[in-house]
Amino acid sequence: MTQIVAWPGLNFSELLAHYQAPESAINTSLEGRPSTVAIVPGYFMATCTLQIRSQAQFHAYEGFLADIDGTSNIFSMPVKRKSESPIEVAAGYTSVTGTEDFTDGTDFTDGTTFEPTLAPAFFVTDQVAGATKADIIIQNGGVITRGALFQAFTLHQVTRALDRGNGRYTVHFQPPLPRDHPSTRPLDFDNPHMFCRLMTSSDARIENSNLRFYATVNATFIEAEPKAIAQAWGVTL
């Protein structure tokens, strides 16, 4: 049975998650009328680079590869980009100002990294499977912009966002919701994850290991099918 494996906690030096639009073709019916038929549904892909710099990281990643068992199991991977993620503070949410964009993956001296600024968000009304437009309310302020990633059951990307005021936005997004989503269930703009598979068993292997426990991983992950994710969670679509 397919399982969902946790990401081993390694930080990315580079990360890009992008949405691949559905592929379609034009068919001609017997009556001569053309029609568009979807061949491949839309999905996310993530390309990333990991820098392994310790024995603990090396063993954690090796154990992760063994756990996902090639292309057999699904894993949950964070897709937030540090250069776009202001820091979260204990008493609320704030942003960091300055000239450093931290795109080199720099951590703070205590080992922590950035957390994003958006407060918990919810659909204003219950949404049904297939929805691509909805009003979203952010309870603690924040801004939703075009291109923002968020997680409902699966990963989604904002294609248009209209600010209605008082933390309410009308948002268009892709891909469509794969299952119903009640307004009481939060949306994760802070730390969205993508449920992935390896494209081939050889993807994500350790490369450039010239020194002991020092290595680079260049990997491309593909989003798992919503039905496979649901089966792994034990839910139905």
Higher-confidence position of 12 and 60? 60
Expressed as residue numbers, the domain containing 208 is 1-24+36-80+192-237
In a domain, residue 145? The reply is: no
Structural domains counted in the chain:
1
Nearest alpha carbon to residue 134 among 187, 56, 81, 92: 187
In a domain, residue 128? The reply is: no
Selection from 84-98, 161-175, 179-193 with the highest mean pLDDT: 161-175
In a domain, residue 91? The reply is: no
* Residue 171 in this model has a pLDDT that exceeds 60: yes
Q: Is residue 141 a contact partner of residue 93, using CB atoms and an 8 Å limit?
A: yes
Q: Which two tokens stand for residue 42?
A: 């839309």
In a domain, residue 113? The reply is: no
Residue 114: what pLDDT? 47
* Residue 109 in this model has a pLDDT that exceeds 60: no
Amino acid, res. 120: P
Alpha-carbon distances of 6 from 64, 85, 136, rounded to whole Å: 8, 22, 28
180-237 per-position pLDDT tens digit: 999 999 998 888 889 998 887 777 877 766 667 788 888 888 999 998 888 888 888 7
Higher-confidence position of 118 and 62? 62
- pTM score, two decimals? 0.76
In a domain, residue 153? The reply is: no
Burial of 227 (0-12, 13-18, 19+ CB in 10 A): exposed
Pairing relation of β-strands 23-28 and 74-78? unpaired
Residue 234: what pLDDT? 84
3 state SS of 67 = helix
Query: Domain holding 220: CATH number?
Result: 3.30.200
51-84 per-position pLDDT tens digit: 888 888 888 988 998 998 888 899 998 886 544 5
* Residue 87 in this model has a pLDDT that exceeds 70: no
Q: For a pLDDT cut of 70, what percent of the chain falls above it?
A: 72
* Residue 146 in this model has a pLDDT that exceeds 80: yes
* Residue 86 in this model has a pLDDT that exceeds 60: no
CB proximity list for 220: less than 8 A, separation 6 or greater? 45, 46, 47, 199, 203
In a domain, residue 12? The reply is: yes
In a domain, residue 186? The reply is: no
Amino acid, res. 61: Y
Residue 119: what pLDDT? 63
* Residue 33 in this model has a pLDDT that exceeds 80: no
Range in 8-17, 123-132, 144-153, 157-166 the model is least confident about:
8-17
Q: Which two tokens stand for residue 31?
A: 């009556």
Higher-confidence position of 24 and 147? 147
